[in-house]
A and B are shown apart, each in its own frame.
Chain A
Amino acid sequence: MTALTLTNVNKSFGNVHVLKDITLEVEEGEFVVFVGPSGCGKSTLLRVIAGLEDASSGEINIDGQQVNLVPPSKRGIAMVFQSYALYPHLSVRGNMTLALKQERQPKAVIEERVAKASRMLNLEPYLDRYPSELSGGQRQRVAIGRAIVREPKLFLFDEPLSNLDAALRMNTRIEIANLHRALDASMIYVTHDQTEAMTLADKIVVLRDGRVEQIGSPMELYNNPVNQFVAGFLGSPSMNFLPEGLLQGGGQTTIGIRPEDLFLSDDGPLVARVSHVEKLGGDTNVIAKVNDHAVTARLFGQHSISEGQELRFAYAADKAYRFDTEGHRLG
């Protein structure tokens, strides 16, 4: 059984067409990440799935049941918001139990689920505190706990980590991955951060301008992008794009090479002048200019390269991607 099926979903605000013919499936227990630049419609898509926005056309099925006209609370979903959205007048326990009380669950069930969720998230010492007395990371855990206690068929995360600082973000990312393993639930996660997408997802949906560009596992998308946009969006530092003419002469296609696939070679085809060097210890990122095109090379280990130096780069032919003038991938 699929947890979620979207069929030709469209959404317009007035004349603005935000979602265009979105069709996708989320399998039971799958972790799906919607990723794309800001304004690509990923949050709107999540809101349409949640029922906070109505789809202009198309069909939404959750757990085999069409939910287009079902209100959010009856769709069997739970959502974690970017801004946490905790109820300020309720304690942590109150925040977590509110939805269950609305569903008129028996007291024993509520107690048990809150105990289980708070154990899982280490929230036990804070159950009687109010949101204003918690730190950012704790608030985010309460927001996740509020979703867990409902035992939904589908979890929806709307950029849950973007308000946390870098160290906490990494920890919470691992916690969410653990949570997914422990709960074995279907999850949809929206982010603009490709690292989060690559590390968390079973399946990534890349969106641009309200359209699905590609769907696949992280490695599938990384190794086999269908177009220049997907190729450039995933991977950090992002892929280098050079006009073919720069390399072999003639031809209108664009060649894409990942920074880690470039290596130093005395007779390499790319002659580049170094404009900036980032020494990270484990890696060295070299930003260089080939004619007027900036090229980033990621070299393993430490290198003594300085600005202004001339280098020659080479790459394996099978690591190069070719795109036509429209950005579509060629053979």
Chain B
Amino acid sequence: MNKARHNPLNTAAMHGALILYTLIALFPVFVILINSFKSRRAIFREPLALPSADSFSLVGYETVMKQGDFFLYFQNSMIVTVASLFFVLLFGAMAAYALSEYRFKGNLVMGLYLALGIMIPIRIGTVAILEMMVATGLVNTLWALILVYTAQGLPLAVFILSEFMRQVSDDLKNAGRIDGLSEYTIFFRLVLPLVRPAMATVAVFNMIPIWNDLWFPLILAPAEETKTLTLGSQVFIGQFVTDWNAVLSALSMAILPVLVLYVIFSRQLIRGITSGAVK
């Protein structure tokens, strides 16, 4: 056991640093939350004060509920995020498995080509993407967003997952082949469970940028029925007047689902079922 672990001073310093970082990281969230429950005047008078009997107000939430179809936006964001993550993980894992498992001509070139996307921001191609979406009639549909986000997430997913899949024991896959399992069964039943922590990492890395994105919803799907939460919240931010109550309330509610998804994935990160598989 490391000696430093037993030194109470070190332990205290370590925890102190971690607590300090947690406070700094959570402070903006905290400010958003408390201010979303205050009246407009109270927000500006004392931004850091907790809501009191005087300043407590739900006017922000009321505005959000009344103006625009907030639940629809919410649902749109959820569909786009979950579907994109599903496709990124499915196709990313399949491509990674092919690259790491099978010997074929151009394997290395294909791997580099798929990883190239990490270095090139997808937004550079916005005009071309928009033209493509117009041509295929996908503008103002959720599919437009799902396709773009899947493309955006794939390079990193393939890169990370193929690295992890190389570490999965060859013997295990070969045992499956000798026992008569199909390549798909080997992939879904033996390999995927073993790279679950890596899948969770990829999911978390992709989830937050997709949920928070304003660019593509604004360009590809600005229609009322396909607005995402981030885009929907923009109606409260005007050029001259901003309805801070509503903005803060909308943001508070937008945090929740990401938090839930994050908790689900991060549990996968911690759990490891590899022990006992080999060796």
Chain A residues near B277 (CB-CB < 8 A): 85-88, 131-132
CA distance A60 to B249 in the complex (A): 72
Chain A residues near B279 (CB-CB < 8 A): 83-84, 163
Q: Is A121 an interface residue (CB 8 A)?
A: no
Q: Is A134 an interface residue (CB 8 A)?
A: yes
B101 to chain A, nearest CB (A): 12
Q: Considering only CB atoms, which chain A residue lies closest to B181 in the complex?
A: A102
Contact B180 A132 (CB under 8 A): no
Listed stretches B5-13, B32-40, B144-152, B189-197; interface member: B189-197
A226 to chain B, nearest CB (A): 34
B87 to chain A, nearest CB (A): 25
Contact B171 A89 (CB under 8 A): no
Q: Is B278 an interface residue (CB 8 A)?
A: yes
B168 to chain A, nearest CB (A): 11
CA distance A88 to B277 in the complex (A): 5
Q: Is A214 an interface residue (CB 8 A)?
A: no
Chain A residues near B194 (CB-CB < 8 A): 88
Q: Considering only CB atoms, which chain A residue lies closest to B189 in the complex?
A: A89
CA distance A144 to B181 in the complex (A): 19
With A88-B273, A89-B193 already in contact, the answer to whether A83 and B179 are too (CB < 8 A) is no
Q: Is B234 an interface residue (CB 8 A)?
A: no
Q: Can you list, as one digit per residue, whether each of B254-279 has a CB less than 8 Å from chain A (1) or not (0)?
A: 00000000000000000001111111
With A99-B180, A133-B276 already in contact, the answer to whether A83 and B193 are too (CB < 8 A) is no
Q: Considering only CB atoms, which chain A residue lies closest to B276 in the complex?
A: A132
Q: Can you list, as one digit per residue, whether each of B127-170 has a CB less than 8 Å from chain A (1) or not (0)?
A: 00000000000000000000000000000000000000000010
B52 to chain A, nearest CB (A): 54
With A84-B279, A89-B189, A133-B276 already in contact, the answer to whether A98 and B177 are too (CB < 8 A) is no
3 A-B pairs with least C-beta separation: A132-B276, A73-B180, A88-B277
12 residue pairs bridging A and B, Cβ less than 8 Å apart? A52-B177, A72-B174, A72-B177, A74-B180, A81-B175, A82-B171, A83-B169, A85-B175, A85-B277, A139-B276, A146-B175, A163-B279
Residues of B participating in the A interface, judged by any CB pair closer than 8 Å: 169, 171-172, 174-181, 189-190, 193-194, 273-279
Residues of A participating in the B interface, judged by any CB pair closer than 8 Å: 47, 50-52, 71-74, 77-79, 81-89, 98-99, 102-103, 130-134, 139, 146, 158, 163
Contacts A84-B171, A146-B175 aside, 8 further interface pairs with beta carbons under 8 A come to: A47-B174, A78-B178, A83-B169, A85-B174, A87-B277, A88-B193, A98-B179, A132-B273
